């Protein structure tokens, strides 16, 4: 028996997969660097840059002042002049501090320069609630970013995708946001040691089924899988699709799932009103209306800031129980 078989699969937590993805990008690309608040000495507030300062030095792991506008501006300027920066925005909520740089510079510059500049900027940021960090450190704003022509938006739900998406984003010649989830940091799965890419613009069917489609984003994929297990006991064979790529969105995989199941639900942690789930619903009714046997349901957070209270926050975040309840409602069971 080989050593690999004796050892079994290589399991890695989400947080370590982020570190490994960034490290391998820095090893591959001499003109890549990391910049952000506390990325160097502290290794980031979540610890996923630990060890990189000692390995690559302070010219490639750059601690910045507390200025998101300046950090994003650094990334845009460096990318336009030949570097491939990895910019860290500690909490997704802080994008409000630099939205002009994102929306009017990063997203538009290569179009306004007639293709004379490329913007290979990778932005890593943390979204989601569940750590009692209150309304200014717990939001999911992927729909904001997806509305900007010129940027790509990814949401890895597991360690394998986190590493592969970071590598794919860093190799892309466009601005790419990799929106990670702070409640997923300890989740483990099999992650290869070598470099690999998770293709941008491609969803993943993580559970095959024929009776109902659940389209989920980020950590909600795990809640959807738990819901599917419960629904299996009720005789409902659910297919779970990990959306993974918000922009570009993989409508082909979504439509193929609808053609099998004829009923669907979309779930995300972001506020339900105006969330990206509404875009998925719209595209499905445009492209697969004749295959639908019922309106597509949506599960999301209430139209409210994220509460600080642990008890209220638990009620705020969508979960498997709410998904089950909505599926039963659509099916009339």
Give dist(CA 92, CA 88) in Å, integer: 10
Q: Is 68 helix (H, G, I), strand (E, B) or coil?
A: helix
State which of 158, 190, 222 marks the end of a domain.
190
Pair (180, 209) in one structural domain: no
C-alpha–C-alpha distance, residues 150 and 333, integer Å: 44
- At residue 4 the predicted structure's pLDDT band, cuts being 50, 70 and 90, is very low
Which of the residues are catalytic? 137
- Give CA 280 to chain center in angstroms: 16
Tell me if residue 103 falls in helix, strand or coil: helix
Summarised one tens digit per residue, pLDDT across range 48-90 is 999 999 999 999 999 999 999 999 999 999 999 999 999 999 9
Mean pLDDT, the chain, whole residue set: 96
User: Which pLDDT tens digit goes with each residue over 226-254?
Assistant: 999 999 999 999 999 999 999 999 999 99
Specify whether 162 is located in the same domain as 246: no
Cα 80 to Cα 75: distance, rounded to the nearest angstrom: 9
Among candidate residues 136, 155, 190, the one where a domain is terminated? 190
User: Does residue 3 lie within any of the structural domains?
Assistant: no
CA atoms within 13 A on the CB side of 309: 4
Pairing of strands 238-242, 204-207: antiparallel
Within 13 Å of residue 62, how many CA atoms lie on the same side as its CB?
Answer: 22
Q: Is residue 4 part of a domain?
A: no
Same domain, 178 and 74: yes
Rounded to an integer, the average pLDDT of 21-40 is 98
- The answer to the question of residue 276 being in a domain is yes
| Same domain, residue pair 68 and 164 | yes
Position 264 in a domain: yes
Structure tokens belonging to residue 282: 């719209």
CA distances from residue 77 to 3, 80, 82, 90 in whole angstroms, order as listed:
47, 5, 9, 20
**DSSP string computed for 263-307:** -EEEEEEEESTT-HHHHHHHHHHHHHGGG-SSPPEEEEE-SSPPP
Q: What's the structural domain count of the chain?
A: 2
Q: Which of 167, 190, 213 is the last residue of a domain?
A: 190
Taking the C-alpha atoms of residue 129 and residue 135, their distance in angstroms, rounded to an integer, is 9
95: domain CATH number is 3.40.50.970
Question: Residue 94 phi/psi, 5° resolution?
Answer: -75, -5
Per-residue model confidence as pLDDT tens digits over 38-47: 999 999 999 9
Q: Are residues 141 and 228 in the same domain?
A: no
pLDDT band at 1 (very low <50, low <70, confident <90, very high): very low
Confidence of residue 8 (pLDDT cuts 50, 70, 90): confident
174 & 25 share domain = yes
Domain that residue 273 falls in: 204-331
Provide the token pair at 285. Answer: 């009714």
Q: In this structure, is residue 196 part of a structural domain?
A: no
Q: What is residue 217's predicted lDDT score, i.e. its pLDDT?
A: 98
300 part of a folded domain: yes
Question: How is residue 231 annotated by DSSP?
Answer: H
Stretch 153-176: mean pLDDT, rounded? 98
DSSP string of 174-220, one letter each residue: S-EEEEEEGGGTT-EEE--SS---PPTT--EEEE--SSEEEEE-TTH
Give the integer Cα–Cα distance in Å for 326 and 212.
Answer: 12
The answer to whether 330 and 295 have CB atoms below 8 angstroms apart is: yes
* CATH code assigned at 213: 3.40.50.920
């Amino acid at each position: 028996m080989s050593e690999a078989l004796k050892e079994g699969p290589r399991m890695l937590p989400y947080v370590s997969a982020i570190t490994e993805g960034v490290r391998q990008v820095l090893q591959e690309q001499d003109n890549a660097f990391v910049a952000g608040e506390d990325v160097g000495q502290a290794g980031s507030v979540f610890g996923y840059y630990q060890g990189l300062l000692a390995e690559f030095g302070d010219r490639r792991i750059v601690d910045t002042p507390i200025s998101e506008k300046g950090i994003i501006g650094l990334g845009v300027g460096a990318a336009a002049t030949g570097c491939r920066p990895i910019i860290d925005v500690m909490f997704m909520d802080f994008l409000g501090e630099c939205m002009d740089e994102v929306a009017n510079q990063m997203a538009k510059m290569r179009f306004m320069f007639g293709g004379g500049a490329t913007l290979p900027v990778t932005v890593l940021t943390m979204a989601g609630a569940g750590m009692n960090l209150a309304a200014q450190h717990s939001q999911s704003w992927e729909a904001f970013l997806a509305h900007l022509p010129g940027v790509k938006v990814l949401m890895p739900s597991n360690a394998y995708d986190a590493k592969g998406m970071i590598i794919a984003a860093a190799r892309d010649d466009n601005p790419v946001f990799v929106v990670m989830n702070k409640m997923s940091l300890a989740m483990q799965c099999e992650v290869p040691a070598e470099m690999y890419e998770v293709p941008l613009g491609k969803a993943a069917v993580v559970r095959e089924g024929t009776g109902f489609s659940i389209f989920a984003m980020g950590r909600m994929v795990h809640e959807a899988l738990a819901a599917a297990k419960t629904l299996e006991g009720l005789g409902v064979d659910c297919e779970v699709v990990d959306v993974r790529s918000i922009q570009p969105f993989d409508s082909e995989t979504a439509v193929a799932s609808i053609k099998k199941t004829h009923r669907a639900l979309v779930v995300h942690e972001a506020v339900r009103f105006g969330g990206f789930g509404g875009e998925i619903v719209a595209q499905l009714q445009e492209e697969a209306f004749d295959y639908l046997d019922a309106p597509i349901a949506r599960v999301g957070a209430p139209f409210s800031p994220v509460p600080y209270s642990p008890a209220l926050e638990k009620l705020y975040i969508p979960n498997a129980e709410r998904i089950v309840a909505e599926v039963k409602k659509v099916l009339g069971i």
